[in-house]
Structure 1
Amino acid sequence: MKKYSIAILSIVSGLFYSQITIGKTTPSLLPANTSVSIEFGNATGGNKGIVLPWVSQTSLVAGAVPGTIVFDSRATEQKIYFAKAATPNSTVVSQWVDLSVGALTPTTAFTSDANDENTAAKVLVGGNPLTDSTPGVLVLGDTNKAMVLPRVSSIADIVSPSAGMMVFLTGTPTAPINQLAVFNGREWSFWAKQ
């Protein structure tokens, strides 16, 4: 009975307007922005990031769609990749873009755990769970909302980053940075608006 109740609540909650915040020190009844479906941490001063799903090889990611971000844990890679389409609005991945470009490969290979993966398991935020077939660990199903990454003032604030971690660097009020930072287990790589 408990399993049925959880399944019904999950389906019903996906049909209503909602916003999720994770890791905020002060809960708020008001969303940060009406265009946000999920928000990680506070607006400034965080010290945690999100760790992307580890895959054994990007070409083996079944059903990947443009916008998918993963950590390729192969010893020869150990990089963060972004799935890109060749044309706008395409649902076919034409290329995996290296977001760790320029970073040195870690000296120690990382291995993912030996647990079997349930490939059907996923969390859907927004969208309709009855019709959304997008594969992924965390799927943002809203067509008009975005995710707000964990925000940190400096990567130095993250004491022990994990391979595959991603954060948004805010900097300080007097010295804003506004960059995406990804960690491959050895070095951080940075992306800023060009």
Structure 2
Amino acid sequence: MKTYFLIILLSISSLVVKAQVAIGKTSTSSPSASLEFGYTPNDVTKQRGIILPWTNASNTLINVVPGTMIFDSSDKKIKYYKGTDDPNSIATWVDLTINGDGTVDKSLQDNLTESAVAKVSIGEKTNTEGILVLEDNNKAMVLPMVDKYSSVVNPTAGMMVYDMANNMICFFNGTAWTFWKTSNT
């Protein structure tokens, strides 16, 4: 798995400006997709998600830009950083997780050394901080799609997928799936 992920990262890092990346498929399905993952309906061997970067405490991160998404292992929450246009307001981390009582096995993560210079940039490269930075101003990431969140075999803490059966974003906190569904779907 580590080798597969490393190959993907190296492949992505060699891309040039204005790139579109398809993982698990030959091309993106829309010119508006900056990063898109393959979807194979009814095949449980291909029901996978994306694992967000882990941190031990979101309040210790520096130089964070609005839109950053993380898995905060200290409170088992999926969060995104919400910036502010008001200089008198404090930008905050927004909790996207409903159930925070998950159990997280951090043994693999804690033994790794983080490289401060590791970065993959898709789109027009800037100096924006982050491990994976999508830098297009007219494209977006399409989340990994699964038939249903329960189709994912052995999910890991920090995993995020789009559930096609229920039209919702699902997060796994180490023990339980939590869901983000808009009221108009």
TM-score (norm 1): 0.77
What value does the CA root-mean-square deviation take over the aligned residues? 2.4
**CA deviation after TM superposition for structure 1 residue 93, in Å:** 7.1
Query: One-letter code of the match for 1:134?
Result: T
1:170: which partner in 2? 164
Match of 1:151 among 145, 155, 160: 145
Q: Once the two structures are aligned, what percentage of the paired residues are identical?
A: 39
Match of 1:14 among 7, 13, 16: 16
Q: Show structure 2 runs of 5+ residues with no match.
A: 1-9
Query: One-letter code of the match for 2:16?
Result: G
Taking a change above 3 Å as real, the CA distance of residues 122 and 93 of structure 1, as seen in their structure-2 partners, is farther
Q: Does 1:87 align with 2:81?
A: no
1:23: which partner in 2? 24
2:101: which partner in 1? 105
**CA deviation after TM superposition for structure 1 residue 87, in Å:** 3.2
1:64: which partner in 2? 64
For residue 42 of structure 1, give the secondary structure of its aligned residue in structure 2.
coil
Q: Does 1:127 align with 2:124?
A: yes
Distance 1:145 1:108 in 2: 33
**CA deviation after TM superposition for structure 1 residue 108, in Å:** 5.2
Distance 1:108 1:37 in 2: 31
Match of 1:186 among 161, 175, 184: 175
For residue 97 of structure 2, give the secondary structure of its aligned residue in structure 1.
coil
Q: Show structure 1 runs of 5+ residues with no match.
A: 1-5, 172-176
Query: One-letter code of the match for 2:150?
Result: A
